[in-house]
Structure 1
């Protein structure tokens, strides 16, 4: 990375292992179909299957080796790997238990680089709850990943036993909100779906994935007035804004809620457009994103807020500078 030698500590709170082992084929096909529709509408010559082939090619980093190389180039110290549970909606190559084991192996392969939030689905019943408790006990995973577009509300009472475990262990809950691939349900992903859970479990911190990008009128007041609701900006460079994503983030960072925002990229979303190095360079050293934002608040967004949200044992090895202001 170029820029100032006074580099901030950067944690990526929203990332996925770019492997077809962890994402449904249908999801990738949906995304590819949308890309081809847009190209056709814009008059770009149609090449059927090209987008799908390109997306499949970027999901072969099964051991996260290329991700770690990207992190090193971009100056990202540590990353949260999110493991959604898509298994009750779409066929998967691996079971959730196998995916948990694989992510544990990835952490052992790259010590000190990853936290893991494991997926759950309330419709898996008592067996799912037992599996979750075993995953966080045996593997030391640091949080929950929820994907409500699979067909459930994050305030579903069947999730409450999971939240009780999170309250006991200090584990945050990362919740996807907003649009996703076309074969998923959008209604359960509205940010207000989290409100009952946030009220019922004030000791559990809920991170709204993409909350700094979509439904900002709602997510902004949830972050302002619900003490345990935070916003993630993962996918910012892949979201369309009238004045561009840099101007949108600058607006977001001027709303007075920088103590409630965590930095995320949603890798491998932008893998084909410059990767993590380009994104971090534009955010940290570009002229727009942090214009007028206090240095202390920049550090909170880039790592300090996430540090406060992680369970106590997970921050033992975090550089002290990441704790500044927290």
Structure 2
């Protein structure tokens, strides 16, 4: 395998049903059911939904850390998008923030967190995002445009102002997602206005190396503050497998803008993290032939450079804040 000193997964999620609403799973299950029925397998979408939810039981990231260790992944960027404005959800974005802060305390030094609040929550949502950055030490903003808004929506500008002032990156979903959400706002070009107006904010096009790749590549070429990740690469649509489109991507002269990510646990039923890493770093894999410095940037160096320095005091404050909240809830 190609040697890499430090691997950072720049795009990952907690495999927790507390983070993903049932409505999201229902869309995924509907697609799975259509595919399985076409192969002659009688399936029930509702049963598939229940199975998906049951598999998302790694609420404290213990299983994820074990898989990271097995794969040689030093750190992982956890993404926490807010679906609470579009789906009925048992857990609020405040619950989501506390859960991710607790995971970081449970596994010190293993996780960064990019946290999101739907911009339609208005000033209250933006104020909470800033509060979460202060209290929990979260290192960036995660937005999910398929929930129904453009990444250049002016309601997001107060969030971007917080990120600009604090040196925090913004990661936005691009391309298709669960069929229960809209795809129209998932075009990489839609970040153009925000990238122009906020030159001090670094924007990362999630899945930009796999979905709508030509648009994503052009944005990375011509906007200094736009990057892409290739999370979701096991699902790259190519007659020659996922390695071929990645080889093409790495030959475009934008390797300084490319970030490795797995999108775990999306492909957990197909490949584990170790298999993904092995495929990427195999002697005949898509990274073969690149200069070692380029491989190091892609596999961790670039995302690490976009994140703010670790705020140990914020992490300590987060621990105290969580402890206080738990003590308060027990006394009520």
TM-score (norm 1): 0.92
Whether 1:114 and 2:105 are equivalent positions in the alignment is no
Indicate the residue corresponding to 1:82 in structure 2: 79
Indicate the residue corresponding to 2:43 in structure 1: 47
Instruction: Select 1:29's aligned residue among 21, 26, 31.
Output: 26
Of stretches 249-258 and 279-288 in structure 1, the one that deviates more from structure 2 is 279-288
Deviation at 1:44, TM superposition (A): 3.2
Instruction: Select 1:57's aligned residue among 49, 54, 59.
Output: 54
Q: SS at 2:300's partner residue?
A: helix
Residues 1-326 of structure 1 mapped to structure 2, 5 A cutoff: 3=1, 6-41=3-38, 43-49=39-45, 51-313=48-310
Q: SS at 2:185's partner residue?
A: helix
Does the 8 Å contact 1:85/1:119 carry over to 2?
Answer: yes
TM-score (norm 2): 0.91
Cα distance in structure 2, aligned partners of 1:68 and 1:36: 31
Cα distance in structure 1, aligned partners of 2:24 and 2:206: 18
Q: SS at 1:312's partner residue?
A: coil
Cα distance in structure 2, aligned partners of 1:230 and 1:304: 13
Does the 8 Å contact 2:37/2:43 carry over to 1?
Answer: no
* Alpha-carbon spacing, 1:287–1:57, altered in 2? closer, same or farther (3 Å): farther
Deviation at 1:242, TM superposition (A): 2.2
Does the 8 Å contact 1:14/1:264 carry over to 2?
Answer: yes
Give the superposed CA RMSD: 1.4
Deviations 1:40-75 (A, max 9, x none): 22x232132453344223201011100000000000
Deviations 1:166-202 (A, max 9, x none): 0110000000011011111111111111000000000
Cα distance in structure 2, aligned partners of 1:52 and 1:152: 26
Cα distance in structure 1, aligned partners of 2:54 and 2:273: 17
Deviation at 1:286, TM superposition (A): 4.7
Q: SS at 2:15's partner residue?
A: coil
Deviation at 1:314, TM superposition (A): 6.0
Q: SS at 1:311's partner residue?
A: coil
Query: Which stretches in structure 2 are left out of the alignment for 5+ residues?
Result: 313-332
Cα distance in structure 2, aligned partners of 1:227 and 1:240: 28
